[in-house]
Amino acid sequence: MAARQFEPVPDDRPDPGDPIPFGKKDPNPPTKVAQTALIGALLLAIKAVSQRAFIALLDTFALITAGAVFWLFYSFDHPTTFQIVHASIFAAFVLAINWIVRQQR
């Protein structure tokens, strides 16, 4: 018979280095001032991350619109003259919108 490769560890023994054993309350709970400061810092961090995400989303505007034009041109199996003209007008419209967006920055 093969020898055991591991030894079972009981879960009920508390870790001697744990400052607050499982199931017991913290003897020094944080004060209201500390909680308020923590919440304020957390909200500030979330606001900064959301602003950066919004700016990154705005920077992908040109990529998304160019991808829409690319998808439109390649969605036609056998394009007619009118489909090519309409897709070209849409491409010119997208270029104009991208130019306007870049001018506003």
More confident residue, 4 or 43: 43
CA dihedral of residues 33, 36, 42, 45 (deg, nearest 10):
-90
More confident residue, 19 or 42: 42
Cα–Cα dist 46/56, whole Å: 15
More confident residue, 29 or 46: 46
pTM for this structure? 0.48
pLDDT tens figures, 49-100: 888 888 887 778 888 889 999 999 899 889 999 999 999 999 999 999 989 8
Structure confidence at residue 1 (pLDDT): 62
pLDDT tens figures, 91-105: 999 999 989 888 876
Structure confidence at residue 16 (pLDDT): 64
Cα–Cα dist 13/6, whole Å: 18
Q: Which long-range contacts (CB under 8 A, 24 or more apart) does 98-102 make?
A: 98/61, 98/62, 98/65, 98/66, 101/61, 101/62, 102/62
